Structure 1
Amino acid sequence: MTDFQPRRRALLAAGIGALLLPVTAGAGTAHADSAPPATDSFAALRARAAELATGGAIDPLDPVYTTALTSLNSSAAAQWAALDRSAGRTALWSDLAPVTAPSNFTLSYGRLLTLATAWATPGAALRGDEEVAAAVVEGLAFLFDRAYNPAKPESGNWWFWEIGAPRNLMDVCVLLHDRIAPERIANYCAVVDRFCANPDRRTNLPTLAETGANRADKAAIVALRGIVGGSADKLALARDGLSDARDAGRNSLFRYVASGDGFYLDGSFIQHNDVAYTGTYGNVLLSRVAYLAALLADSDWRITDAGISVIHESVERSFAAVTFDGLMMDAVRGRAVSRNRERDFHTGSGTTSNVLLLAMGAPPEYAARWRSIAKGWIERNTATPYLPLVGIAATRRASAVLSDPAIPAAPPPVGHTVFADMDRVVHRRPAWTLALSLSSKRIAAYEAGNGENLHGWHTGDGMTYLYDADRAQYSDDFWPTVDPYRLPGTTVDTRPRADAGSTPGTSTYRPANTVAGGAVLDGRYGAAAMELIGNGSTLRARKAWFCLDDAVVALGAGITASDGRTIETVVENRNLHAEGANLLTVDGRDVTDVVGRATPFPGAGWAHLEGVGGYVFPGGADLQALREDRAGAWSDINTGADTGGSGDTTTRRYATLWLDHGVSPADAGYAYVLLPGFSPARTAAWAASRPVEIVANTAAAQAIRVRALGLIAVHFWAAGSVAGITSSGPGTVLLRRRDEGVSVAVADPGRTGTTLTVELPWAVEGVRSTDDTVTVASGRRPVLTVRVGGSRGHTHAAELF
């Protein structure tokens, strides 16, 4: 499987300047057997590719570029100072020896690219330095002769050979093309032809068709190889690879999928067959398509496939939906959460850059919305500002948007989204957002491998991510310091776990449960459920979440285990950062000063954490509260060859609340309510007034009623009746009655049924609208018949009166 490398993250922020050099080879679509275009067409494309890397003709004295230029100068100076230029060298950099190791020659190409970029960038300290250019050209020859050439067999991780190294190599050749001897250009094209001959197949496993981000990566490499080597056939192959012309579109990036890798109609993105990967692999795919659309625009090889609308739609449907004020949600970043140098704001800044790059060639109605969305992300993220994170080209695009008063900053979205095809749920309110990370026999609980994500065991067991004013919650060394056995929202067996993914290659863990997902009502309210089947444990639990205007109700039932170990449900585990002075109270009692020792609170009614919000335990709960300082290093969770984290120990304080179900519980349960942003007084008042009624919390059904909203929400684990609603089988049902009528939402997140019959508790006279999968028999006890079979857990809706 693919190993997503730091080079990919760097490329997410790359892009072209606001002005593109014209390419005048013609307006038609070229084919592999077409007559070769004029040589100057390739020169024009090389110039455009160089502008993609450097930003083009900027004014280096403009202060908007100061940070980006300083960063480039600093990186290039460090690589230049450390570059071994001696006659007897055995590696280009001493820390990348032996140079024959795939990760080392790939990273060496990356450092040469940094030097080449500094040489080619207006205003950079090394701009036009012929000594630097000569050294980079010699470095390319050294790597070809010693480590990366057509005679070498692939070893280790395939990604270095087929994507990482050839992409860096071709990027350098674009920038220094006129300084490299023709025979050397031929050599470098030959090595790319050997290891990345086309976007369609895995070189070391020719029967494996490339999909998703890997296909997009390879299409970009083949296009650059065509430009560097002057091959019209390669450029056509790259363009056609996006559409998978070879296999009649079977693996096209420009179509929605119903299984496997790619974009789904509900906004989900999957890579590696079963991993929710919008933030990483999805981001790579977006970046490569945006890059190629800009690179090939107006040329013989421009993208003409109308299916590119899938990528256009993904900006809002897939990426904006999981981006919080410029931060990419960790729930869709897979094993990348364990990377020291690839945090949520890095990935989010890449998404912003990709969206603005794609906007340059998109239909105006798309581009206008995207620029507004990106402007909103940039302006709201003041904790980790965008401009210091990106290069000159991205800065050029963004500054044009930021300085244009005609482009409004889009506000953060509000609503509820169920990504049924990747077992994720996102609930957005004006001041906060909650994301649920679920898993099933269809979607992996976690991915690990090649030394990455060593402690990701419980990240797909119902982990809840709360995004609010603390933009650094997950980026401030959360992953190396958080207790991985106590992730918020999870119910866990406390058994010790061995490091995951410490061996070569990547793999995923999929549990055996079928239920994971839920339904959304009016785009505003939602109910989700997950059956938990413990990994290597007899633990079983039925978990449900009900998402409202200002609260999230979490219920658990049927919690059973027989292994002789303690079972816990984690209500909160909040990163308080280095200082950790947030006031923590339980039923008004201050426990802030108790550090390092758990404090029990039998029958607790509510708790409050300053700066976060309130927690209510309807009916009381035996709560454990802990404030502790936790030390860890990024190398504890990632030892990857080129993604491995720092070994430096860092310490963060955490506030943890959990419910202890005891040793080998039988049919235990829990109920708690998250009240993000609430004050202590508001929390206490909510606990006293109980505006949400828990109607059921058993292994048969979990349900709430909110009388003020006219709302009832139920997840049925089996056929039954709750709060006047009768269901013929398992499923999620939400009802809301208002003066104008009754809204109904139904889903089968277990995907086990064909037809679900739901009887409502309120009389209706008729039907205003329904999905075509819903039929209604109105009357005193109306009945909905919902054809859930084949709907893959998506919501079916009806409006009645």
Structure 2
Amino acid sequence: MNCSELRLKWKDMLIASPVSSRDEADADLELALQRISDEARSYADTIHLHADRSCLWQDLSGTQYDLAIFTSYRRIKALALAYATAGCQQYHETVIFNHITDALEWLHLHHYNADNYGRFRLWWHVEIGIPLEINDCLVLLYDKLSPAFIRKHAEAILRFSPDPVFYNYSSTAHYGTKPSTGANRLWKCSVHAILGSVLGKPSMLAAATSAVLPVLDYSAQGDGFHRDGSFVQHDCYAYNGGYGKAFLSHLVRLLNWLKGSEWEITDDRTGHLFHWIEEGFLPLVYKGALMDMSRGREIARSYSQDHEAGHQLIDAIVEAIPLFPHREVERWKVLVAYWIRSDTYRRYYSYATPRMIRLAKQVEQEAGQLPPNSPSSAKVYAAMDRVAYVQPDYGFSVSMYSSRTAAYECISRVNRKGWHTTHGMTQLYTQDLDQFSEGFWPTVDMQRLPGTTVDRSLKPEEYGAGKLSSKSWVGGVELEGKFAAAGMELEGLPDLHGEHPGRSLNARKSWFLLGEIIVCLGSDIRMDGDHPVETIVDNRRLHTDGGGQTTVNGRVNTPEEEGAHRWQSVRSIHLTGFHNGADIGYYFPEQTPVMVIRETRTGSWSDIGIEQRDQISNGYLTLVLEHGIRPVDGQYCYAILPGASQERLLRMEEHPAFEVLENSSQAHAVRHSALGLTGVNFWGDAQKTVGSLTVNAKSSVMLQESDTDLIFSVADPTQLNKGIIEVIIDSTATGIVAIDPVVKVHELSPRIRLSVDVRGSCGRSARIKLQK
């Protein structure tokens, strides 16, 4: 397969194959073609054609320069796609072709050319975004374009992006040239490989494929995929659902596109792809939604919310399935089909491209019988300080930061109010699948995000962005992929003026993920400042046409009653969901004062990003635990029961399923008797006994004990322990069923005594299973 054949193959991947008689009966394909036509028509009807124009589209006239030029090229590509796609109304229309070439010429003459780089400020647009759009235009229209036309647009790309290995090569920013990493490397490789096929230059394809190879390695630190499935970008940000998704998409496309050519990537490290998907993405999806905690600043983009992002991931995995180990193909077809069918909020086929509709429907057809509920998993992402928990009827996430992972990223004012998105933020995904869509992020109180412990000081935009904590105890432990414990030593945002760093909010926070129950503990909450401190139990977006009834201690709080109400002795709160199975119960083992806030909030995407200013309104129910001003030893304890009816919540009050063993500065510990589960977060290095467990070092541990066996798991959340964790379990065993290499057994009776070597463990869980 030569360059020309690769170019034609790329064109086919853009437009898919011609419509067949079978396709004509597919309403989804027909609608997909209509969407392409409608988008093209909207751009064709509004493009400026007069000679003295200052922009191509009037609505972009006030947009930031780099973004305006990039968006113009993206719209031109949409016109080119409609022109080149059989079945679209603009297919091979001369007027559309003239619009495309005229617009490309105008942009080249006035903006994107080999001589004009001084006005650009954002390197991504000029080195990646714009080149990718130009490449696709050249591929789609290749047969109609002159060599001179192609050459001058290619020269502009090569002026700004001459090498896939480096970025900022064109000196568009204040810092110097640096090696490209992670998703940026894959984007750059795509730019050069596609352009190489257009220009017929094998050397460009060879350089691009060679540049891919280094990012196929696991990353020990910084950008790329880590062995636990975490994807990090920009050195210290969690980004599986953002840059990681883009990395996956471009890698899969390059592997499939180059297959069968002399530039096919056959390196053994391509086998890592399956592990990255299995560990890096499977635990992060709930019924088609990709968890927000993994998406960084993308939460501030209206066009890329959780279900849109989830569908983009589905696209990539559908294309990746043929690359999987043969034994895994059928299982993954079932998983993908389940995600597609279970997303009743945003129907996948109503937004997919014609090519993806064909591929995904083939996967669905071959999937066979689907599971009735979501696949279960418990995943601690130690390399990026995130925890994901998926059960049959709900998903739950915990977002944290540490001395390793930064608080939040803000670039070009996107996500500029992300202050507390890693301060123990939790998100509960239920059958109300649109909970975190429909304008959640621009309307929610960003200082009262669910799960967080915060102070109510007013914070300027971008405050704390990029901040690393001084705390290393952040992470957790997994048990059998079914249960998990997580915790963090929280260091809040510093004193606003930097004069009193000791005034930052501090707390210890834990979550115990125990099947149908999530237990949340907090202790050592302190702050030497003048602002009230709160822990946010939850902050749910309400539907205007149903659900949202709140029952506190069995007393209904009328939905129409907006405002804040302080309940002094709360044992339970029940929230009715909009859909069946979406109810939520909140249980407080001790009578607890709770402020219940019901309010309507209004905002726009421009408040947190750089998009439209249209106002959006949403109703919210917020549950707040108030710790007061200057708390010294604040605490909290509550449990979340996803999907719980009022009757089940009442049974929990009468017969609690769990017991809090300790909630102190030394340990947080919970026991679930029916499951035989004990979870403990040990905060210190001194020997400490909680229940049947004695441990001598900072650690997160879980123990499950039955009549026949005992399973124990431990991790070093600090990732700093360069030695051994000694463990004593007040029980006996007769033999070893399974054991990780780092675990040593010193005694099985009259007590179990273990040692676990956590040197270089990077926060991973170590496990042993014993026979009773």
Query: How large is the Cα RMSD of the aligned pairs?
Result: 1.8
Q: Indicate the residue corresponding to 1:772 in structure 2.
A: 741
User: Taking structure 1 as reference, are residues 164 and 593 closer, same or farther at Cα in structure 2, changes over 3 Å only?
Assistant: closer
Q: Indicate the residue corresponding to 1:392 in structure 2.
A: 354
Task: Write out aligned runs for 1:54-73 (5 A).
Answer: 54-59=15-20, 61-62=24-25, 63-73=27-37
Q: CA deviation at 1:767?
A: 2.7
Structure 2 Cα separation of the partners of residues 507 and 572 of structure 1: 24
Structure 1 Cα separation of the partners of residues 68 and 389 of structure 2: 43
Q: Indicate the residue corresponding to 2:678 in structure 1.
A: 712
Q: Indicate the residue corresponding to 1:623 in structure 2.
A: 594
Q: Indicate the residue corresponding to 1:35 in structure 2.
A: none
Does the 8 Å contact 2:476/2:715 carry over to 1? yes
Confirm whether residue 171 of structure 1 aligns to residue 136 of structure 2.
Answer: yes
Q: Indicate the residue corresponding to 1:788 in structure 2.
A: 758
Q: Indicate the residue corresponding to 1:52 in structure 2.
A: 13
User: Taking structure 1 as reference, are residues 694 and 366 closer, same or farther at Cα in structure 2, changes over 3 Å only?
Assistant: same
Quick one: which of 643, 649, 653 aligns to 2:615?
Answer: 649
Q: Indicate the residue corresponding to 1:679 in structure 2.
A: 645
Quick one: which of 513, 516, 520 aligns to 2:471?
Answer: 513
User: Taking structure 1 as reference, are residues 792 and 294 closer, same or farther at Cα in structure 2, changes over 3 Å only?
Assistant: same
SS of the residue 2:216 aligns to? coil
Q: CA deviation at 1:626?
A: 1.4
Does the 8 Å contact 1:559/1:667 carry over to 2? yes
Aligned pair count reads 745
Does the 8 Å contact 2:224/2:233 carry over to 1? yes
Structure 2 Cα separation of the partners of residues 96 and 182 of structure 1: 31
Task: Write out aligned runs for 1:503-542 (5 A).
Answer: 508-536=466-494, 537-542=503-508
Structure 2 Cα separation of the partners of residues 548 and 659 of structure 1: 23
The letter for the 1-side match of 2:209 is R
User: Taking structure 1 as reference, are residues 507 and 569 closer, same or farther at Cα in structure 2, changes over 3 Å only?
Assistant: closer
Q: Indicate the residue corresponding to 1:584 in structure 2.
A: 550
Q: CA deviation at 1:360?
A: 4.0
The letter for the 2-side match of 1:235 is L
Q: CA deviation at 1:370?
A: 2.9
Q: Indicate the residue corresponding to 2:500 in structure 1.
A: none
Q: CA deviation at 1:454?
A: 1.8
Q: Indicate the residue corresponding to 1:614 in structure 2.
A: 585
CA offset digits 1:466-509 (Å, max 9, x no partner): 111011000121111111111111111111111117xxxx9622
SS of the residue 1:447 aligns to? coil
The letter for the 1-side match of 2:739 is T
Does the 8 Å contact 1:492/1:569 carry over to 2? yes
Confirm whether residue 727 of structure 1 aligns to residue 727 of structure 2.
Answer: no
User: Taking structure 1 as reference, are residues 254 and 800 closer, same or farther at Cα in structure 2, changes over 3 Å only?
Assistant: same
Does the 8 Å contact 1:580/1:653 carry over to 2? no
Does the 8 Å contact 1:73/1:118 carry over to 2? yes
Percent of counterpart pairs with the same letter?
33
User: Taking structure 1 as reference, are residues 254 and 561 closer, same or farther at Cα in structure 2, changes over 3 Å only?
Assistant: same
Structure 1 Cα separation of the partners of residues 372 and 318 of structure 2: 14
CA offset digits 1:705-738 (Å, max 9, x no partner): 1222222211111121111322112111211211
Higher mean displacement: 662-671 or 206-215: 206-215
Confirm whether residue 745 of structure 1 aligns to residue 718 of structure 2.
Answer: no
SS of the residue 2:508 aligns to? strand
Structure 2 Cα separation of the partners of residues 361 and 752 of structure 1: 37
Quick one: which of 294, 317, 327 aligns to 2:279?
Answer: 317
Structure 2 Cα separation of the partners of residues 380 and 620 of structure 1: 38
Q: Indicate the residue corresponding to 1:11 in structure 2.
A: none
Q: CA deviation at 1:678?
A: 0.7
The letter for the 2-side match of 1:442 is R
Unaligned runs of 5+ in 1: 1-24, 26-40, 244-251
Structure 2 Cα separation of the partners of residues 406 and 679 of structure 1: 33
Structure 2 Cα separation of the partners of residues 337 and 624 of structure 1: 27
Higher mean displacement: 747-756 or 344-353: 747-756
Q: Indicate the residue corresponding to 2:111 in structure 1.
A: 147
Does the 8 Å contact 1:606/1:616 carry over to 2? yes
User: Taking structure 1 as reference, are residues 550 and 79 closer, same or farther at Cα in structure 2, changes over 3 Å only?
Assistant: same
Q: CA deviation at 1:577?
A: 2.9
Does the 8 Å contact 1:64/1:395 carry over to 2? yes
The letter for the 1-side match of 2:521 is L
Q: Indicate the residue corresponding to 2:296 in structure 1.
A: 334
Structure 2 Cα separation of the partners of residues 438 and 98 of structure 1: 37
Q: Indicate the residue corresponding to 1:186 in structure 2.
A: 151
Task: Write out aligned runs for 1:354-503 (5 A).
Answer: 354-404=316-366, 406=368, 412-500=374-462
Does the 8 Å contact 1:373/1:410 carry over to 2? no
SS of the residue 1:790 aligns to? coil
Q: Indicate the residue corresponding to 1:547 in structure 2.
A: 513
User: Taking structure 1 as reference, are residues 590 and 546 closer, same or farther at Cα in structure 2, changes over 3 Å only?
Assistant: same
Does the 8 Å contact 1:447/1:508 carry over to 2? yes
Structure 1 Cα separation of the partners of residues 89 and 64 of structure 2: 31
Task: Write out aligned runs for 1:295-306 (5 A).
Answer: 295-306=257-268
SS of the residue 1:383 aligns to? coil
Structure 2 Cα separation of the partners of residues 632 and 579 of structure 1: 20
Higher mean displacement: 395-404 or 271-280: 395-404
Q: Indicate the residue corresponding to 2:767 in structure 1.
A: 797
Confirm whether residue 559 of structure 1 aligns to residue 559 of structure 2.
Answer: no
Quick one: which of 177, 196, 200 aligns to 2:165?
Answer: 200
Structure 1 Cα separation of the partners of residues 700 and 52 of structure 2: 69
Task: Write out aligned runs for 1:201-216 (5 A).
Answer: 201-202=166-167, 203=169, 204=171, 207-216=177-186
Confirm whether residue 101 of structure 1 aligns to residue 71 of structure 2.
Answer: no
The letter for the 2-side match of 1:448 is C
SS of the residue 2:188 aligns to? helix
CA offset digits 1:326-364 (Å, max 9, x no partner): 111101010100111111111111111111122245443
Q: Indicate the residue corresponding to 1:759 in structure 2.
A: 728
SS of the residue 1:598 aligns to? strand
Does the 8 Å contact 1:595/1:626 carry over to 2? no
CA offset digits 1:638-665 (Å, max 9, x no partner): 12xxxx2x21111111111111111111
The letter for the 1-side match of 2:183 is A
CA offset digits 1:101-142 (Å, max 9, x no partner): 322221111111001000000100000112211221222122
**Under a length normalisation based on structure 1, what TM-score does the superposition of the two structures give?**
0.90
Q: CA deviation at 1:668?
A: 1.1
Does the 8 Å contact 2:732/2:750 carry over to 1? yes
Q: CA deviation at 1:366?
A: 4.1
SS of the residue 2:89 aligns to? coil
Q: CA deviation at 1:99?
A: 10
SS of the residue 1:421 aligns to? coil
Structure 2 Cα separation of the partners of residues 159 and 275 of structure 1: 18
Does the 8 Å contact 2:564/2:596 carry over to 1? yes
Structure 1 Cα separation of the partners of residues 372 and 673 of structure 2: 33
Structure 2 Cα separation of the partners of residues 238 and 756 of structure 1: 46
Q: Indicate the residue corresponding to 2:498 in structure 1.
A: none
Quick one: which of 195, 200, 219 aligns to 1:225?
Answer: 195
Higher mean displacement: 62-71 or 156-165: 62-71
CA offset digits 1:29-60 (Å, max 9, x no partner): xxxxxxxxxxxx33322211111111121236
User: Taking structure 1 as reference, are residues 223 and 411 closer, same or farther at Cα in structure 2, changes over 3 Å only?
Assistant: farther
Structure 2 Cα separation of the partners of residues 98 and 652 of structure 1: 28
Structure 2 Cα separation of the partners of residues 385 and 594 of structure 1: 32
